[in-house]
């Protein structure tokens, strides 16, 4: 009977020693990460980046800056040069407005759809490339910090793992219609090994489908949409200022909880 307390004490001592070893290992890992300047969860690669990593990351950053530069001009172009807006940005309002102008005799739907292809697809191959380089890490980074969006992306990744290309291929086509950022879908295509030729073909089909739907809406609205677009362009400066303020406020609001 005296052996039981002794055995219990030995077991407790062993567990305590194991916990201490784990704590030391965890501390050592944390110190190693702190010592490594490249150990940053906000970066999609592990360790020191390669040249290709830097090039892809720079391309993603420049694509974001491009949209910020174009942002102030969207309101003024939507009612004056909507086709140019479609070519530069592939924006929803640009496609609707350009198709409405075509309805009243200014331009044609064919030109609108042709302009929409590069307008919508111009950076998509970069996101595919990021998925090919960094896999699931970049998918989670694209999902951002919003809980709902992160859950949706995780469900999407789980379905891709279960069904493979039978899910990924149609997902590329319907990406513009999905409630998650298209960049996540395109990165998953690169991660799962889809060739860039196949990706571009599927992406073109999806982009034309999206542009066709918006162009049909604008063509049906006709003069009503033209009048709205011209009014927006008339006050384009003030609309652009309001858009910039909203974007800055949204960014500040998203950063505040992280502090």
Helices (H), 104-195: 109-121, 124-134, 136-143, 147-163, 165-174, 182-191
Query: Token digits for 186?
Result: 């395109």
pLDDT computed for residue 117 by the predictor = 95
| Buried residues in 28-52 as b, exposed as e (16+ CB within 10 A) | eeeeeeeeeeeeeeebbbeeeeeee
What is the pTM for the complete model shown? 0.72
Nearest to 188 by CA among 122, 120, 126, 138: 138
Residues 6 or more apart from 140 whose CB is under 8 A from it?
A: 150, 153
CA distance 198 to 189: 10
Ramachandran sector of residue 50 (left: φ over 0; alpha: ψ -120 to 50; beta: rest): beta
According to the model, what pLDDT value does residue 9 have? Answer: 47
pLDDT at residue number 164: 65
Q: Give pLDDT tens digits along the chain (259 positions).
A: 444 444 444 444 444 444 445 545 445 444 544 455 666 777 888 878 899 999 999 999 999 999 888 888 888 888 888 999 999 999 888 999 999 999 888 888 999 999 999 999 999 999 999 999 998 888 878 876 566 666 766 676 677 667 666 778 888 999 999 878 899 889 989 988 899 999 999 999 999 999 999 998 888 888 777 776 767 665 555 555 666 566 566 656 655 554 4
d(CA 108, CA 119): 17
Question: Do residues 232 and 94 make contact, with C-beta atoms less than 8 angstroms apart?
Answer: no
Cβ atoms of 110 and 100 within 8 Å: the answer is no
């Amino acid at each position: 009977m005296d052996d039981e307390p002794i055995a219990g004490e030995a077991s407790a001592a062993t567990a305590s020693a194991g916990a201490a070893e784990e704590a030391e290992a965890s501390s050592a890992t944390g110190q190693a990460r702190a010592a490594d300047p490249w150990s940053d969860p906000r970066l999609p690669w592990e360790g020191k980046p390669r040249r290709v990593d830097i090039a892809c990351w720079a391309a993603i950053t420049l694509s974001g800056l491009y949209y910020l530069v174009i942002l102030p001009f969207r309101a003024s172009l939507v009612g004056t040069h909507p086709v140019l807006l479609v070519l530069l940005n592939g924006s929803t309002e640009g496609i609707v407005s350009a198709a409405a102008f075509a309805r009243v005799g200014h331009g044609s739907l064919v030109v609108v759809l042709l302009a929409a292809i590069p307008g919508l697809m111009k950076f998509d191959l970069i996101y595919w490339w990021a998925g090919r380089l960094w896999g699931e890490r970049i998918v989670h980074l694209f999902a951002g910090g919003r809980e709902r969006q992160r859950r949706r992306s995780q469900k999407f990744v789980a379905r891709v793992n279960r069904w493979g290309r039978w899910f990924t291929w149609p997902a590329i086509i319907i990406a513009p219609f999905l409630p998650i950022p298209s960049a996540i879908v395109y990165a998953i295509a690169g991660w799962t090994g889809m060739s860039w030729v196949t990706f571009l073909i599927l992406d073109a089909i999806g982009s034309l489908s999206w542009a066709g739907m918006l162009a049909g809406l604008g063509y049906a609205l006709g003069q009503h949409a033209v009048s709205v677009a011209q009014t927006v362009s008339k006050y384009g400066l003030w609309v652009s200022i309001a858009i910039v303020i909203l974007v800055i406020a949204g960014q500040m609001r998203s950063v505040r909880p992280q502090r």
